[in-house]
Amino acid sequence: MLIKLLILFILILFVLVFIPIPLKIKINYINKAFSLKIYNLNVINKFNLKDNKPPLERKKKSSFLINNFKVNLKSLKKLKFKPHIKIKVKLIYGLDDAAYTAITYGLIPTLSTFIFALIKNIFVVKKKELHVKPVFNSFYFNLEISSIIYISLAKIIYMYIKLFKHS
């Protein structure tokens, strides 16, 4: 009986460590309302950024975070085993002027290429979709990002060791 429980425990541990688990994340931003869902559970329903700190204190902290981010990004690029991601972006937007909306409609795919290249440094992108729908002659903004990240506990441990080995 004890051997069966031990084998079952080792099997469950093996599955948790080496088999990737899908993590479903959905981000919505509609008319200044931000929501974050993980497995369709609301993590953040409404989010407002209000910062009452003096400007000098924020600047020192942000420069430290930017430098730390650059170091971590360089070490993330060198990783052999990265988590896989499927990402879908749906953007419905409109500006008051139809000409400005048309110009930004041409710029958005170019900007998305740079954003997907940045994501590709951190993840292995399995599938990416970008749907852009302009709404002419009215001001409207709706951004919906749905992603599934396949990550295993072994990859998390590997990434953690590699990140803090370089920093």
Please report, as a single letter, which amino acid is at residue 89.
Answer: V
> pLDDT value at position 118?
86
Determine the Cα–Cα distance for residues 62 and 55; give it in Å rounded to an integer: 11
Q: What is the pLDDT of residues 31-48, one digit of tens each?
A: 778 888 888 788 876 555
Overall size of the chain counted in residues: 167
pLDDT in tens, 84-137: 899 999 999 998 889 999 999 999 989 999 999 888 888 889 999 999 999 998
Q: How many CB atoms lie within 10 A of CB 129?
A: 10
Q: How is residue 30 written in tokens?
A: 């509609």
Question: CA 24, CA 147: separation in Å to the nearest integer?
Answer: 6
**Taking the domains of the chain in order of start, what are their residue ranges?**
21-46+56-166
Can you give the C-alpha Rg of the chain in angstroms?
A: 21
68: β partners: none
Which of 3, 157, 136, 165 lies closest to 74 in space, CA to CA?
165
User: From CA 81, how far away is CA 79, in angstroms rounded?
Assistant: 6
